[in-house]
Structure 1
Amino acid sequence: MSSVYDPQRLGALAASELMDAAREETFDRLTRLASRMLRVPCSVMTLVDGDRQFFLSEDGMRPELAATRETPLSHSFCKHVVDRSAPLVVTDAREDALVADNLATRDLDVIAYCGVPLRLDDGHVIGAFCAIEPDPREWSAGDVELLSDLAALATEAITLREGRSERRFTHAAPPALAPASASVPVLDPRLETLAAALPAAIAEGAIEIGYTPLVHLASGDTWGFAARAAWNGLDHDELLALAHHDGVVVALGEHVLDRACRDLGPHDTGLVVDATATQLASPGFAERVVATLAAHGIAPRALVLAVDERALVGAGARDAHRSGVEDLRELGVAVGLDGAGTGSVTLSELAALPIDLVLLAPELAQAAHARTAAASLGAAQALALGAIGGGIADDQDVARLAQLGCVTGHGPHFGALIGPHAVGLRLLSPPR
């Protein structure tokens, strides 16, 4: 079992922060799908460390095991998948020399088992995706292939999960200030200074606004721009995070919208601006947005407010957020679900959301995530939602997304962020 205890593999597993993680619908959806498609009573996605296996997701497991979500390695078939870095197919564990003495057979009724490696992007096998039967079963090559495809989707979901983790503007407190068992996040002193100066910078108009071109994939024509803010070396996402920490995100968001409307109003072009959950819950937000548009002669239909899915779905979602979105749509503003395709929103939830379009996560432009992109765009098309692709880096990304039905997008392939004075020139320039 040398591969199970390999320090590099265990380090990669620890760095993934998946062990003991809360259950996620992204993974649960895959195990439910495995159970249905293979017609088995139980499917499990396991993570194997040096002394136990943890159930990242399970469908159909005994209630007591579903509650504890782990077993010692004495009850693990998946450890052999990790050790072999290859599928393990067991027709009848009682007659299989490799697992005949495994306590899972005696204690958990694991008789037939089919498991495939669950890998990280770097190649380390951190666990297994498996199907289990309490009776003997002959597994087919198609069964193994199906589990392998689902495991590949799980790997994509893990990669996207890591990629969408928010940057943290923190460092560990000195040991004397932190409990021995954990580090305490504290705001970096430089950022404390910036946070204190941020309200004045907003009031004085010192925030820099740049624009990302939004392009029709077929023609290359620029139809609009996404506004991005920056200040004192902080990019757009960092600045929003700092504004949240300092409690001035509503003022920052409204300043960005006003500046963007001023810059783009003369050009009769589309505009995409981020809207945070805090803004949506702010009383009168929708009316202030429409008033800002009117002040610059922009029709509400020209604006797309990009809303993070966490404002509308999940533990952080509140009625006030959804009410704010519905108010915006009633006033003619389009609302887009930002970061779509990262797996947190189910199809039924997507169908119920008060949105007009989806803005695909930038990772989905990559060939490695083509299946996820296809599923996301297919869902959008089925629900009559528009879609904007992100992260487009080359002609291959353009062709791939266009073939999947995406009409418009943005990314480095269409040029760098531009200043307000270059907007007009961009609109006059010929397509790429």
Structure 2
Amino acid sequence: MEYGHCEGMAVLSILFQRGILNPADFGAARTRDLVLEGNQKLQREIAYWYATMIPNPGRAARIIAPPRDLVAVLRTAFANTQTAFYTLRFSKLDRSGGHSVVPMGLRDISANEVAIQVYDSNSPTIARELIVNTATNTWSYSPALDPNQTSDDYNGTAQSLTLGLAPIEPRQGQQTCALCAESDPLLNTTASSDNPIILPPTTTNDGMGNVNQGNADISNPEFITPWMDLAPSNPLVDSWSSPVLKYFVLQPNADGHFVLSAPSENQTNIPVSIRSIGRGYTFEVETTVASGFPSEVIVGSQGNVITFTTQTTTSPTMYLGFETPTDDFDFYIEDFDLSADDSFRLEVDASNKLVGLRAITAIPDESVTFSLSMERIDDQGIEIFNSPDEGISLFENEILLIDFSQWSGNGGTLRMGYDDNLNGLIDANEAFVIEDVGDTIP
């Protein structure tokens, strides 16, 4: 949702305008009088319509074309109905700054210029226009209220394909769930070849980082942004800037190997992250990189293990979230004291209710210290565990297992132990408990 509120608001505003949904059902007779803060029903509705732009059939129905062709589509739509049943999405030439608005009408400025009149949720009381030059087949949009703030301007060409329409009608029915295969390794069943792992690597924060997709075995790769497909010329090596999200679909038995690097020379502290999303779980790694010192992330073929390797001493944050029939769990592992070329592996075994941690150090017999926070979410609320301030230490190739099923809640101890015999379970003589020292999460 971090980059999708505008799409959710755009769709919902059209549904209100057409009378398909009623703002009174969300707390006010008029849309402009709705209150978002504390209005969970409205927040969920916005989130829902954002989410429908990702799966099919909604995604497959998108129209990505040169601006002159999109104007023609809108002319036909406005001729048939008062409001076009689309959202209008666009990005900057570098694929950053994705935004979504509502096309409300067309205004012919001259023989070669057309204004697409839009509703922009960022300035809902002000009429805005996206200008298309039909002669040069280019477009531009200035969202800033101050005309001197040109850094916020958008523009594109027929070749950039950074402008598109997303029909709403296909998104009103049931969407295809790419993660809803009948079998899943994290739900105690057998993985199958038609159960893909969805991997959306993304940069974060300042939009200057790159993630280069390395030597993963990709079957039918899809490159998806929150507003349109933008297929690069080389699908195996790609980079992008925030807030663009790029998705790769990996089939089982194919390890996903990703290289996180800075986009150009002389750059340091560039924030990057990569997320692996599966049916009922998600992994994430956040870190910073510098020029010439990339980090690597490998996602296992079954999607239940992720390994991070650094070329610097930068401390990453590793996150694991997953659901069970009764509770949901979040794990945050951070504050690492990694050396160059150290690796750290995070794994979940839902059937035995264990989370595994393993350090692979570049120098033999070294150790890695880190902190652990855990959340358990159920119908009664959220309970939080924090490891001691001195952290937890792992020596090279030690496998530490967390038995989260034995945790009693806030203030209770967390059972852990080592798996020296590599059977996937805590050795009876290697079990211990650590105390809960706080109730905060990162």
TM-score (norm: length of structure 2): 0.21
Larger RCO (CA under 8 A, 6+ residues apart): 1
